[in-house]
Amino acid sequence: MKRRRGRRGFWWWSWLLALITVGGVVGGFFYGEKQWEEAPKDYYSSAKLSIHIREPFVARGAKLEASDSSLANLNEEAVLRDIKSEQALSPVLAEFELTQKWGMGTADALTELRSSVSLEHDRLLKVLFVIVSRHDANEAAQIANFIANGVAGRVKIVDEQQKIEGAENLKEELSPFVQSEIEARDDLKAAFADKGITIDPKPGVDVSTYLLDAVINEAYIKWEGTLDNLTGVKRSQGAFENHWRRDVRPTIVTEDAVAPPTFAGPEVEPFQMQWALYGLTLGLVGGSLLSLLCWKLFP
């Protein structure tokens, strides 16, 4: 009996281990392919726009020139950020009733939508691609077109906000010079009043007759200096005012998104590899147990 067990030991039944292991790998490979066929597919659809965003500027003396940097500027960053903002994407949820369709709350649906949208901007060619990835090809195209058609309005909104901010900054910069001129003019008016002279000093008003008085002359020189400073600052701000006043070419959709005929992913290989590894593991475990059982039952 011992000699027989020696001839037909555990390794004699190891062919079962090899057979089941190979079967597990092959079976897992084909099962992985089946899982891939049933898995949701990613469809990418993109709309193309000719986008014009107000150029950044650099001051060169009294003139402003467009920056020649190839990097995205603050204006462009603001526009691209706004396109994916809650204010811009909420109408998409409402238009296609995505919260109901996806079975999500508004916040989760907004997060899902934002993760589905990507933007590719070429600032040198002034081209923007709105790319949407969804498991439904038609849905991807519809969302991409809806967002693209709203980009022009978003560009205008951001630009108008920046105009307001620019005007406020200029006004804030000018404010101390205006205040200094007002105070100096009030001092000059007071000097006139002390001499019994009723006159409202303004640019272009001839007061040379009264400048022989030392007090009036001193007040006039101070006022004239603040007026020159104010005029100089206003002149320097003119280029900035012109920059914000200049119209920007409109942004238009040049190519509508269409439903892609084929999906972009996922690839079948990762599914096959994953399930082949599962099959290998199960085959090793199952084959080892079966070989051990046969060795015990048929020594």
How many other C-beta atoms can be found within 10 angstroms of the C-beta atom of residue 9?
A: 12
Say whether pLDDT at 2 is over 80: no
Say whether pLDDT at 281 is over 90: yes
Q: What pLDDT does 76 receive?
A: 84
Q: Tokens 């109901």 label which residue?
A: 100
Spatial distance between the Cα atoms of 123 and 72, rounded to a whole number of angstroms:
7
Token reading at 276: 């082949």
In order of 29, 208, 278, the CA distances from 284 in angstroms are 15, 109, 10
Span 203-210, average pLDDT: 82
Give domain limits for the chain.
1-39+266-299, 40-265
Q: What pLDDT does 72 receive?
A: 47
In order of 147, 191, 295, the CA distances from 214 in angstroms are 70, 10, 125
Say whether pLDDT at 89 is over 90: yes
Choose the weakest-confidence range: 3-17, 84-98, 134-148, 231-245. 3-17
Global pTM reads: 0.72
